Structure 1
Amino acid sequence: MSDLTSDTTGDTGGLITPALVDLYLAPEDKDEALRALAQRLVAEGRVTDLDGFLADIAAREAQAPTGMGDGIGIPHCRSTHVTRPSLAFGRSARGLDFAAPDGRPADLVFMIAAPDGADDAHLRILASLARRLMDPAFTGALRAAESPLAVAALVNGEDAAPVAGSATVADGSADPETSVPTESSAVPETSAVSETSAVPEPSAAPGSAAPPGTPPGAEQPEAGVLRLVAVTSCPTGIAHTYMAAKALELAAARAGAVIAVETQGSAGTTALAPEVIAAADAVILAHDLEVRDRARFAGKPTVDVGVKAGVNRPDELVAEAARLVAEAGSGARPAGAAPTGTAAAAPARTGGSGEHWAHRLRRYLMTGVSYMIPFVAAGGLLIALGFAVGGYQIASAPSVLGHFDWTSSHSWAALLFQTGKASFGFLVPILSGYIAWAIADRAALAAGIVGGAVSAAVGAGFLGGIVSGLAAGFLVLWMVRWKVPRAIAGIMPVVVIPLLSVAAVGFLMFVLVGSPIASAMTGLTNWLNGLSGSNAVLLGLLLGAMMAFDLGGPLNKVAYTFAAGALTTAGATPDAGSLKVMAAVMAAGMTPPLGLALATVVRRRLFSAEERENGKAAWVLGASFITEGAIPFAAADPLRVIPASIAGSMTAGGLVMAFGSTLRAPHGGIWVLPLIGSPFLYLLAIAAGTLVTTAVVVLLKDLRRRRSEGPSAVLSASPAAEQADARGAAQPGGPRGTAPAGTAARRPAPLKG
């Protein structure tokens, strides 16, 4: 008997009880079905706040669809409203649309609820369940179960006999991945057990202990067998992480390869042993979060994809890894594959199937920007405060190092200004350094930072920082793949790579590209300072559209970085064009949350209770220049919220440029109003943009409501959907896989590991 029938709290009932099973899940609408399952969790005392829990479920659904294919849906979340790890199960006769990749409606729905601070033992149980969902025998038994008691017994493992057709290890015993999970013997984080037989880990060094996950007494793989390691991770770290791991293990077994998988999920991480990584021929990274300590895999052929690809296309990923190994000429090959090339074959490559080069480039740039923003915010605000206290002439004040007077406001203003200027001095080096770090990890950090410093020194600015960061990253990525003698390998990451990469990037920025980029930046600065009339308004409209298009995403950050970079060139000129650009960008970024907050007040019935609650927070977020405050609304109804946000932000940005308002602070929103030139006109521009956003979103939502109330909509609407409308939920609509507005999250969906 499994010990899942009791837990550490002392009360009875395991991961699931018969009361949490609905074999006749009636609602045809997905959101109504989720509510019905959540109500069972509330009735059992496992969820304390129904609406709060459903908002967290909706936030996870908004990140990515949770349909897994083969008729399985796994809505899940980590929530402060969950008292203990739990599972509610529903079986739908007609199926529910969870936007699965194969388009098949889900007849099996597993609602996984994990507390925000769940202990590792309980989270390992949920991880084990996620792996078992990849076993057709297990899901088949659930489809055939005739009572809630039978379902609960299957999930909790109360029947000691393994499910028919489950995996077995070499000695014929049941595979723990697909039989009874227990708290004391939860699934290990790294495993190479196959569906049909034990597939051992890549061998460790002679005389060393077996790598994690290797079955006791298992034989080491034969020479010539493809050896793989993999890492899987997803935002919540509950389901996709472990399902991708299991899918890759089964795919490797089918290909005659061996694999060890490290799951960086909510149940903790047991890192792959160094000797396992060293023995591997290739790496598969199926992840939605940054892989921890990625430098471990440097120099090995790598397939880099999202976690959903690991679940849905594991065989393709294993085949791609085999192809990369063949191109690299490592000599390893899966059973039955053609011999690989010679040692002189092309070097290993990073990337592989799944992620387009443009997506990778965007990730590199976003990483650099994210590390740069704290320096911009701190430095810019300090500079702005220095000007507010000491006036614009404070820029020419002598160094406070030897001229500081404790009783002089002028000295304090100079201190603020000079500290902020020092922070701004790190802007371009940090941007460049962390772009390089995102590409090739720590080995590229020195070359990236030095390249950014040179870019700032020669006047190439943030454009030069982007160029130096990309150059440093790809240069180091190439260098770490060099095959060098063992005697030199030990000093490569600490001496050889930094020495050569810093020298090469310095030459690039000083001699080749620094001067042309500096000339371009000078021209850009002169153009900004000379903007007037219609040209300024057009720039404000464009920047406003960029700020609202993805509400804090890459395009938003490009516009913000452009404005912050231009701010560093403003000098002491009170009416410089770059100060107008910063003012326009901040006004445009404030407008979307403010407009949506106002809309929830003037037309409450168009928004759900959760969205009205979001609106209260959006007032403060918008006033503080946190554009992300509009994300819950956009996730719920993007086809109406995003166009409305763009219209309002373009209005605000264009009016600010027309009014000639200026701003020296790169952040702060309404709280830095004393630092704004022409503040009343600036507030007027924000108010106008807010009203436009409100008017457009109300108009679009009202048009949708009227269409849904038409005769054809009435005939096609399900009773569940009508009930949802009666409760004030947002109307059906929006792209497939997007969480309906009626279940919008109370906050932007968190990326939790």
Structure 2
Amino acid sequence: MAKKILAVTACPTGIAHTYMAAEAIEKAGKEKGIEVKVETRGSVGVENGLTEEEIRDAHAIILAVDTDADESRFEGKPVVYSTVAKAIKSAPELIDEALAKKASSADYVDQVQGLKQERSSQRKGPYKHLMNGVSAMIPLVVAGGILIALSFLFGGIDVEGSLASALMEIGGASAFALMVPILAGFIAYSIADKPGLAPGLVGGMLASSGGSGFLGGIVAGFLAGYLAKFFKDYIKLPKNLEGLKPILIIPVLATLTTGLLMIYVLGKPMGSIMTGLENWLTGLNSGNAVFLGLILGAMMAFDMGGPVNKAAYAFATGLLASNLYEPMAAVMAAGMTPPLGLWLATLIRKNKFTKEERDAGKAAGVLGISFITEGAIPFAAADPFRVIPSLMVGSAVTGALSMVVGAELRAPHGGIFVLAIPNAVSSLLLYFIAIVIGTVITAVMVSLLKKDVGTATLENTAKKAS
């Protein structure tokens, strides 16, 4: 099978050198008889974009970039790094270097990461755009939440002292203040590329200052993105003036329109909805808290990183901007128990699992303590009708217990490693017990429902024979 090389070119201005480098790489590939596809990331956005399928099948990737190229999508693939200038001058050498690369073998953890990337590639439309916004927001939430927790450590609950106040200003007044604008900005960026970023950020800032929170930010992001895309697609200019569209015309028109709609039309209704949601969550009695925890927990285990799981996670993460931390605690605990429960099951009922599955259970345990729910996917895929209900029951119980004990989590990721940070989690002991209980329930249910390896093998043989 002929080797295929993919490349990405991007210079800071995104005008001339981006396309010169692309042309040089394509020419070099043609001269060597190698199939090459080049994605350009210029001033008008991404053109000739690389698909997940193409990335999966490629022998190697050439990154001739002087700016962001969304490198995370190439994780696990051989990559050749270069500047744009080097690609223009030495494209044949880059092709040779890429051809000389060797692909690495995949283990269980690589398999899980591959499943995550495969699911990411299946995201389309609004769901994909929302997840892009959430993923861009998460580092701010993590950094802000941990810094706020540290401010309580050094200054107490009233945050007294210069260091504690500085940490609170960095984490709360700055990082958390950027959450909603970044959420909206990158939703818009996902829809319309660079021209959508400015109106999305401004719309998100208006949502934040107007009291409509993460719900308003989501609305602002989609509004700004589709407005920017509309202007990008339908405003036609002479070729020599096209460069003005992404840096002047589209940002101004989309920002103005988004801003006016957020202030005069959408801001107050979205603010009222958000206020109602906050009041309901802060006023939950124990019965309602159990119900919410059960729902969020079951959602986290239902598809282990799929759309339902991500919907629960996005809901909890968005509420952090409104200082509502209980749903986040429930969601992370419930997301840890599926792989942890399967790891425990492989230890206590070895006869239910093959040697390969028992070995995979060790990796699943590591992924579980790291809050990577996808670690359960290979087990669920092999026996969905027994494994998935077990995971959902264990996670639902964990989510409910977390809500009942009033556990609060200020960082939306990190798993067990976040628990060691003082004040990052409230009711720490009870929270830990909730995770343990859900893990045990999952393991026991899997052990009861799954058949012995020998029995399952005989049944499969009989089915094939019939």
Among 326, 348, 358, the residue aligned to 1:612: 358
Partner of 1:679: 428
Q: Distance in 1 between matches of 2:362 and 2:326?
A: 30
What are the within-5 Å matches in structure 2 for residues 240-639 of structure 1?
265-268=58-61, 359-394=124-159, 410-421=161-172, 422-481=174-233, 482-486=235-239, 488-570=241-323, 578-639=324-385
Query: For the pair shown, which has the larger CA radius of gyration, 1 or 2?
Result: 1
Contact 2:353 2:453 in 1 (8 A): no
Following the alignment from structure 2 to structure 1, what is the Cα–Cα distance between the partners of residues 373 and 413? 12
Q: How many residues align?
A: 376
- Cα separation, 2, equivalents of 1:369 and 1:651: 26
CA separation in 1, counterparts of 2:241 and 2:444?
67
Q: Alpha carbons of 1:542 and 1:366: their partners in 2 closer, same or farther (altered >3 Å)?
A: same
Partner amino acid, structure 1, of 2:34 = V
Larger RCO (alpha carbons 8 Å, 6+ apart): 2
User: Deviation digits for residues 572-605 of structure 1, max 9, x if unmatched?
Assistant: xxxxxx3322221121111112111101111223
User: What secondary structure, in the 3-state scheme, does the structure 1 residue paired with 2:158 have?
Assistant: helix
Sort the Cα spacing of 1:389 and 1:615 in 2 relative to 1 into closer, same or farther, 3 A.
farther
Residue pair 2:341, 2:442 contacting (<8 A) in 1 also: yes
Aligned amino acid, residue 266 of structure 1: H
> C-alpha displacement at 1:449, in angstroms?
0.9
Q: Does 1:667 align with 2:431?
A: no
Which runs of 5 or more residues in structure 2 are unaligned?
6-28, 39-46, 65-72, 75-121
Q: How far does the alpha carbon of each residue in 1:219-254 deviate from its partner, in whole angstroms, 9 at most, with x for none? A: xxxxxxxxxx96663357364xxxxxxxxxxxxxxx
Cα–Cα, structure 1 residues 411 and 361, in superposed 2: closer, same or farther, change >3 Å?
Answer: same
The whole-number CA distance in structure 2 between the counterparts of 1:606 and 1:236 is 38
Partner amino acid, structure 2, of 1:518:
G
The answer as to whether partners of 1:662 and 1:677 remain within 8 angstroms in 2 is: yes
Task: Write the deviation string for residues 25-54 of structure 1: whole angstroms up to 9, x where unpaired.
Answer: xxxxxxxxxxxxxxxxxxxxxxxxxxxxxx
- Structure 1 counterpart SS, 2:55: coil
User: Percent identity, aligned pairs only?
Assistant: 47
More helix by share: 2
The answer to whether the Cα contact below 8 Å between 1:656 and 1:682 also exists between their aligned partners in 2 is yes
Q: Does residue 34 of structure 2 align to residue 187 of structure 1?
A: yes
Q: Show structure 1 runs of 5+ residues with no match.
A: 1-111, 113-124, 129-181, 192-228, 240-264, 272-287, 290-356, 398-409, 571-577, 719-753
4+ runs of 1 displaced by more than 6 Å?
A: none
Aligned to 1:698: 447
- Once the two structures are superposed, residues 503-545 of structure 1 have per-residue CA deviations (whole angstroms, 9 ceiling, x without a partner) of 1111111111111111111111111111112111000001101
Mapping 1:196-211, distance limit 5 Å: none
In structure 2, give the amino acid aligned to 1:611.
E
Cα distance between partner residues in 1 of 2:396 and 2:380: 17
Q: Residue 269 and residue 683 in structure 1: after superposition, are their counterparts in 2 closer, same or farther (change >3 A)?
A: closer
Deviation at 1:448, TM superposition (A): 0.7
Task: State the TM-score, normalized to the length of structure 1.
Answer: 0.46
Q: Distance in 2 between matches of 1:392 and 1:529?
A: 19
AA partner of residue 580 (structure 1): E
Alpha-carbon distance between aligned partners in 2 of 1:692 and 1:236, rounded to the nearest angstrom: 41
Residue 234 in 1 paired to residue 27 in 2? no
Deviations 1:244-283 (A, max 9, x none): xxxxxxxxxxxxxxxxxxxxx4344699xxxxxxxxxxxx
Going from structure 1 to structure 2, the CA distance change for 1:624 and 1:531 (only over 3 Å counts) comes to: same
CA deviation profile, 1:605-637 (whole Å, cap 9, x unmatched): 322333323322333332232323323333444
Equivalent residues in 2 for 1:39-188, closer than 5 Å: 125-127=2-4, 185-188=32-35
Matched residue SS, 2:371: coil
- How far apart are residue 501 of structure 1 and its match? 0.6
Please state whether the residue corresponding to 1:677 is helix, strand or coil: coil
Matched residue type, 1:584: A
User: Is 1:381–1:666's contact at 8 Å kept on the other side of the alignment?
Assistant: no
Moved more, 618-627 or 582-591: 618-627
CA contact (8 A) 2:301 2:334 kept: yes
